[in-house]
Amino acid sequence: MGKYILKRIAIACATLFVILFILFVMLEFMPGSPFNDEKLNEAQKALLYAKYGLDDPFFIRFFNYAKNMLQGDFGVSYVINKNFAVSTMIFQRLAVTIVIGIQAMVLGTIVGLILGILAALKHNTWVDTLASIISVIGVSVPSYVFALGLAYFVGFKLGWFPITYNPSNAAMSTILPTIALSLFTIANIARFTRSEMIDVLSSDYILLVKSKGIKEYKMIIKHALRNALIPIITVMGPLLVGLLTGSMVIEKIFAIPGIGSLMIAAIQGNDYNVVLSVAFVYSAMYIFTMLIIDILYGVIDPRIRVAKGE
């Protein structure tokens, strides 16, 4: 297992390097420049390019950047927060995004599992129908619509939680965005759990378990859910990354100082180093999450562990 993980980590690092290169090339082709303003003349532009080393040839800039990155230096912001270290900007904001993303994931998974299991157990009853309706709504209604609704009714009308992020009341501020973000996860997990559970519950070994007279909750948890979980974990990986990277609109609505809103601002402002670093961090998160999921498979299903050569 250890060797397998090491190998996977090595591949992940190589992939990240390639991604960095591709990002660099893409930025090179992006029209516009961070220093572009009605008021700016050519001489000043040249001064700015020289100041930030943007007039060096492409490969020199790339290798300088990659070298600095290994030392934790992601360059400075040119537009959003002039001359701020990008690493500090990202670090501060990543924490907020991750907290909300994980909260949404946990909430979404728990509620989704419960809904899915209930729907499967009460197959073809009103419970099942209700769970399906919730799933369909969750998948088809964009999260920002839900977010606006929450902001208006729960935040404004009822006044239960802050509408926009308040650093002095951070925990409460994350509740509405967490709920808004979790809806999609709830819907997805519920759908998968339901169909997997129905599959498993109708299989022969469950019949055997039942005939042995094992208590129902034990049967569900130990025999049915465990087997139903594997495909669910497969979808959880992309869902989690989706939550971390796809929260841009939610962050905008709730004014959360997260990494998603930073990405939007950076792209609009051609803030090269910030775009590069955020995209890089997104890729790293994705690869890291997939790695964790792969390892989790092994824990849950011994067959996968064996097949992967432990």
Partner 1 sequence: MKKLKKIVLALIAMVMIAGCSTDKPDVVDPNVDVESKIVVATEIDLSTMDHHLATDATSFIAQTMVFAGLVELDENNQPQKDLAESWDVSDDGLVYTFHLTDTNWSNGTPVTANDFVYGWNRLIAQETASQYSFIMETIKVKNAAAVTSGEMAKEELGIKALDDKTFEVTLDAPCDFLLGLMAFPSFFPMNEEFATQMGDQYALTVDNMLYCGPYVMSDWMSGSGYKFTKNEDYHNADAISTDVVEFKFIQDAQSAMLEYQSGNLDVVTLTGQMVDAYKEDDGFTNRLQGYLWYLSVNFDDPNLANKDLRQAISFAVDREKMAELVLKDGSIAAQGLIPVALAKDKDGVDFRESNGPQVEYDPAAALEYFSSAQEALGDEISVELLYEDTEAGKSVAEYIQNNLETNLPGMVVTLNSKPKKTRLDMMKTGDYQICLTRWGPDYADPQTYLDMFLSYNTSNNNGKYNSPAYDEAVLEATQGASASDSAARWELLKQAENIIIQQDLGVIPVYQNGGAMMIAPGITGIEFHSAGVDNYRNMVKE
Residues binding partner 1 (CB under 8 A): 31-44, 47-48, 50-51, 79-84, 89, 92-93, 95, 99, 102-103, 106, 109-110, 148, 151-152, 155-156, 159, 163-165, 167-171, 174, 221-222, 226, 252-255, 257-258, 261-262, 265, 268-270, 299-300
Nearer to partner 1, 109 or 245 (CB): 109
Nearer to partner 1, 128 or 254 (CB): 254
Minimum distance from CB of 306 to partner 1 (Å)? Answer: 15
Nearer to partner 1, 70 or 158 (CB): 158
Minimum distance from CB of 196 to partner 1 (Å)? Answer: 16
Contact 224/89 with Cβ under 8 angstroms?
A: no
Nearer to partner 1, 104 or 128 (CB): 104
Contact 113/224 with Cβ under 8 angstroms?
A: no
The CA distance from 186 to 191, in Å, is 8
Minimum distance from CB of 136 to partner 1 (Å)? Answer: 26
Q: Residues with Cβ < 8 Å from 204, sequence gap 6 or more? A: none
Nearer to partner 1, 32 or 57 (CB): 32
Minimum distance from CB of 207 to partner 1 (Å)? Answer: 21
Minimum distance from CB of 156 to partner 1 (Å)? Answer: 5
Nearer to partner 1, 36 or 202 (CB): 36
Minimum distance from CB of 84 to partner 1 (Å)? Answer: 6
